[in-house]
Amino acid sequence: MKFPNRDTIYNLTTTSDFLLLGFSEVQELQILHFFLFLALYLTTFIGNLLIITVIALDHHLHTPMYFFLMNLALMDMGTISVIVPKSMVNSLMSTQLISYSGCVAQVFLFMFFDATDLAILTIMAHDRYVAICNPLHYEAIMNKGACIQMATSAWICGVLYAVMQTSGTFAITFCSNVVDQFFCEIPKLLKLSCTDLYLIEVGLIVLGSSAGFGCFIFTISTYVSIFTAVLKIPSVQGHQKALSTCLPHLIVVSVLIFTTVFVYAKPASVISSDFDLGFAVIYVIFPPMLNPFIYSMRNKEIQTALWKLLHQRRFSNRFC
């Protein structure tokens, strides 16, 4: 079975529908795409769910760093759940349609989870700074109330950012419903406008760039202070312990920021649609999927808590 012609669908559908880009017109490849995305989705979802479960059940991990890591895992689960299941359903049903309301919801939720993700990562940089550079006052500064307030602020900032990006995008009039991407991506939607979008585009770019650049500069300056303090630690063991909690976070921040910058800063004229589609898969799926592995591979406390949880499950199953 092949997808119907996209131009034909546009003439037959109402303005309440958008037409997404498919990965293939061949049914066998559609099925392959479904199972590939299913494997990636389950890996990401289960990995992040496992992080949340381990932190929630092990009281030794009830600390600010792991509280924020649990929030990060929740955001990652949301990010991939907004995009991937819809693409899987479309491949399975041999369709490319998404409703107008579904497209709005997809843009809003993706922006919300992505912005909150970056805000949580920025807060985690501050947490590591206080833990390493001001350890004697750590418990007083990063107390339970302060952590809840910071996490709540990150969620509120995510909502506000998503509202501004979504309202700015869907305030325009669309001359076409054919989105040149496998999900409702803001730059692709703006290309469908009937009017001059200079002010809207500049506004959205400035808003997104300011938020991302501000978080990036704060994180980098924080880590300069952290590494300066780490070099002053006399013992090699102290170096390793400090770096073991900082390096995973720095890797996650770098992956998120650089993939996003590449997507929105690349020159559209020299990038093929196939490459654009492939890289969209990378920046949507891989950061949420890699985060649990990055943190679990470098973090002995999570590894210990995970093994303890697995042994408890085995022990309880023997007596059930």
The confidence score (pLDDT) of residue 113 equals: 95
Closest CA to 18 of 167, 166, 170: 170
Listed in sequence order, the DSSP H helices in 170-299 are: 186-190, 198-231, 236-265, 273-298
Gap between the Cα atoms of 64 and 70, Å rounded: 10
Sign of CA dihedral 119, 120, 121, 122: positive
The 10 Å CB-count burial string (b at 16+, else e) for 66-102 is bbbbbbbbbbbbbbbbbbbebbbebbeeeebebebee
The confidence score (pLDDT) of residue 165 equals: 87
CATH topology of domain 6-318: Rhopdopsin 7-helix transmembrane proteins (1.20.1070)
The phi, psi pair for 243, rounded to 5°, reads -70, -30
DSSP state at residue 193: B
SS3 of 241-254: HHHHHHHHHHHHHH
Q: In order along the chain (320 residues), what is the average pLDDT of each group of 10 residues?
A: 46 65 81 92 92 88 90 94 93 89 95 92 90 88 94 94 89 86 87 72 72 83 84 69 69 74 59 70 84 74 77 58
